[in-house]
Structure 1
Amino acid sequence: MDKKYTEVELTKYSKEDIISILLTMQKVTENLSKTCAEQKTQLEQVNQNMKLILEQISISKNKRFGRSSEKMIYDGQLGMCFNEAEVTIETKYVIEPELEEVRPKAYKRRKSSGKRDADLKDLPVEIIMHELTSEELKERLGDKWKRLPDEVYKRLTFHPAEFKVEEHHVAVYAGNDNETIIRGKRPVDLLRNSLVTPSLEAAIMNSKYVNAIPLYRLEQEFLRNDVVLSRQVMANWTIKCGERYLSLLYDKLHKVTLTHFDRHEELVLY
């Protein structure tokens, strides 16, 4: 209703016209209130749906890209901690526990007899003697003494990878005629004119394909042992050895597998 009526103008209308105008205005007001309520309800429903969609997207992202490890709480705050040891004791007074507190009283584990010897039975043994000299024995026991069975204990040592250069000297011989020249027998190289040996290439393949160590880390490990081998060189060795030697084994296994597969089909047909 765009036009605004003054008091003087309203006096010109009859009672029936004024009643009609008021009823029309009331109807319009009711329709407008109803429309606003419906729009408000729809807007609330849209906001609720949007909130649910955002929650589902957040849950999906956490499942796909989130960390699988548990998060730890420090001082009431939830978050990841990379220096867990330092943060754990930063503001706490640590009391060293007693042995009785660490070991449960209800369960006492018995040490299995001979387990250590069984674990070490396949490893090479180096016997290291710890003896006293004759002078020390005479000083402490006199001239008369006897030796009892040795007290034996075992320790396990580890020696890192050791590199050694093999320098091959091939003997060269010449006949009296100064024309005939012969050489000593030399082993066949894994790759001609290459530094690589079977043991070195086996170590590279084992590190990369069994232990999942990238070549650039292996390059750094070799460099710490004063051996300069680039990842490109190691990759070239691995590819050539795979094509030249391992491909033969692969082809043989492939043929054997197909043979067994054909036999299986024949048995099924019969």
Structure 2
Amino acid sequence: MAGVQDMVQQLQQQVQSLELKNQKLVLELAHLKRMRFGTKSEALTAEQRTLFEDDADQDLAAVQAELDATAPDADATARKARARAGRQPLPDHLERIDVRHEPESCRCGQCQRELVKIGEDIREQLDVEPARFFVLRHIRPQYACRSCETVHAAPVAPAVIDGGLAAPGLLAWVAISKYLDHLPLYRIEQMAERQQVPLARSTLSEWIGRLGVALQPLSDRLADKLRERSSLHADETPVQQLDPGKGKTKRAYLWSYRSNDLEGDPPMVVFDYQTSRSGKHARDFLAEWRGHLIVDDYSGYKELFKQGVLEQACWAHARRNFFELQSAGNHPVAEEALKRIGRLYAIEAEGKGLGIEQRQALRTERSVPELRAMHDWLLGLWPNVANGGGLAKAIDYVLRRWSSFAGYAETGHLAIDNNPVENAIRPIAVGTKNWLFAGSERAGRRAAAIQSLLGTAKLNGLDPAAWLKDTLEKLPAWPNSRIDELLPLREVEAT
């Protein structure tokens, strides 16, 4: 009998091991299927989904146009009326250019009497003028004094590139095209060629290099201002850097630091380009900074928490683990976890427009009880969960850092997740698909500095192109003591 019991026990262990292995494979398969064929919110990034949505909209419009072309002429008026119904008004801030269409004759075609104006039919269309190149001629009249034989003229204003060909507007256009529109310099060169303007890539490269040097003090000051905040988001994303010695690329990292919007101050984002994912880079950037750092569970941040930085975990990452499990096979425990996390986010949505004190009161009343109930529920599940499985990992991820997950609800200013910094990184991730790689470490650092300023301008509701042009005009003669006035930050309304 003892031999049979041992055999049964061994078979049970083998079955349990196979079940765990099967669970892992099911999770992996579900993840790959969703990446390939999925349509849910976690399947593709927003940018990837819009590619398919745009194609579908284009196909629908093409089919409708073909139907309109084959429809009887008698229905033309009705079709036009339907097409214009519900059209959004064009923005009021845009310049209006009036094009008047007078009838061929001011006399009635039947009785030949003079027509009298009784009103106007106004139809607005949106138009655009592509990048228009023009030449600025700076004319400085020279005046002589016959008495003392001296010549007087207006001084030449300092410029970002002294004696350079490019005006601030052109420099801003090149920078915006490269860093926000993600156009490589050879495409910018081709765009200029279409208007018979020769802009060699070597010239464009020189402009970008000098522009980066000119804007570096602003980027450095922005980083200093960011470190004055009491709580920050942080994340890192890989980028490719050219390795000339080996004729291929190597992996580098763009470390990203974002201010916490719930603090109420103007938002900021700062990118720090580094050649590795070592936690040393985060420690060097934050230096003596102490506050709440909202991050994922990457080990590179752990040393910071030993030095006095306070860890704040991200509920979006915790949710993702349960979402993977639920997507693999409608797991009832994962489904319940998603519902509980969803209730936490619903409370945050209610408190979005509140002040810090009101939000803290809301969280104390609603979020804290939800979190306590979730903690007790997870602790009750833990003893009955098989080690090594997907559910065990999802639960362990939360329980192991529970104080960091629950801490936000004790305040009114800490964020529930790290999504703001991930959203700030996403446009740059799109750009790397066009750039393919950074040509050098210096190029990566230059891109990070310029992206920090342009990204912050966007967060503050400023037009990055207008801000950059204005800043490049002012920067050469601007006193360093007033550098904060040039930062792309909106003014805080007085309370």
Structure 1 length-normalised TM:
0.52
Report matched runs for 1:20-35 at 5 Å. none
Task: Report the 3-state secondary structure (helix = DSSP H, G, I; strand = E; otherwise coil) of the residue aligned with 1:181.
Answer: strand
How far is the alpha carbon of 1:267 from its aligned partner? 10
Q: Which of residues 130, 134, 157 in structure 1 aligns to 2:101?
A: 130
Change (3 A) 1:146 1:233: same
Q: Within 5 A, what are the aligned runs for 1:135-154?
A: 136-137=106-107, 140-154=110-124
- In the alignment, which of 151, 162, 173 is matched to residue 203 of structure 1? 173
Structure 1 alignment gaps of length 5 or more = 1-62, 70-94, 100-109
CA contact (8 A) 2:106 2:114 kept: no
Whether 1:255 and 2:224 are equivalent positions in the alignment is yes
1:113 shift after superposition: 6.3
2:88 maps to which of 88, 105, 116: 116
Q: Which amino acid in 2 is paired with 1:200?
A: L
State which structure, 1 or 2, has the greater radius of gyration over its C-alpha atoms: 1
| Closer, same or farther: CA 267–149 of 1 in aligned 2, 3 Å | same
Alignment of 1:45-84 (within 5 A): none
Find the counterpart in structure 2 of residue 189 from structure 1.
Answer: 159
State the TM-score, normalized to the length of structure 2. Answer: 0.30
Distance 2:114 2:227 in 1: 79
Determine the C-alpha separation between the residues in 2 that align with 1:157 and 1:112.
17
User: Does the Cα contact within 8 Å between 2:185 and 2:204 map onto a contact in 1?
Assistant: yes
Q: Answer with 189-198 or 252-261: which moved more.
A: 252-261
Alpha-carbon offset, residue 166 of structure 1: 1.1
5+ long unaligned stretches in structure 2: 1-31, 38-65, 72-81, 231-288, 293-307, 311-495
1:264 aligns with 2:264: no
User: Residues 185-225 of structure 1: CA distance to partner in whole angstroms, max 9, x if unpaired?
Assistant: 44332311101111101110111111111001111111111
SS of the residue corresponding to residue 116 of structure 1 reads coil
In structure 1, how many angstroms separate the alpha carbons of the residues matched to 2:157 and 2:111? 59
Number of aligned residue pairs: 169
Residue identity over aligned pairs, in percent, reads 24
- Separation (CA, whole Å) in 1 of partners of 2:229 and 2:91: 41
* More contact order relative to length (CA 8 Å, sep ≥ 6): 2
> Partner of 2:334 in structure 1?
none
Q: CA 1:188–1:141 in 2, change beyond 3 Å: closer, same or farther?
A: farther
Q: CA 1:141–1:154 in structure 2 vs 1: closer, same or farther (change >3 Å)?
A: farther
Does the 8 A contact of 1:208 with 1:215 survive in 2? yes
Please list the CA deviations of residues 18-50 of structure 1 after superposition, one character each: whole Å capped at 9, or x if unmatched.
xxxxxxxxxxxxxxxxxxxxxxxxxxxxxxxxx
Partners of 1:96 and 1:114 lie apart in 2 by 21
Q: How far, CA to CA, are the matches of 1:96 and 1:132 in structure 2? A: 32
CA distance in 2, matches of 1:132, 1:226: 39
Correspondences of 1:100-111 after superposition (within 5 Å): none
User: For 2:226 and 2:124, how far apart are their aligned partners in 1?
Assistant: 48
Measured after TM superposition, the shift of residue 129 of structure 1 is 1.2
Q: Give the alignment's Cα RMSD to 1 decimal.
A: 3.8
Contact 2:106–2:115 (CA<8 Å) still a contact in 1? no
- Cα offsets for 1:60-81 (capped at 9, x unmatched): xxx8xxxx69xxxxxxxxxxxx
How far is 1:144 from its partner?
4.8
Q: Secondary structure at the match of 1:260?
A: coil
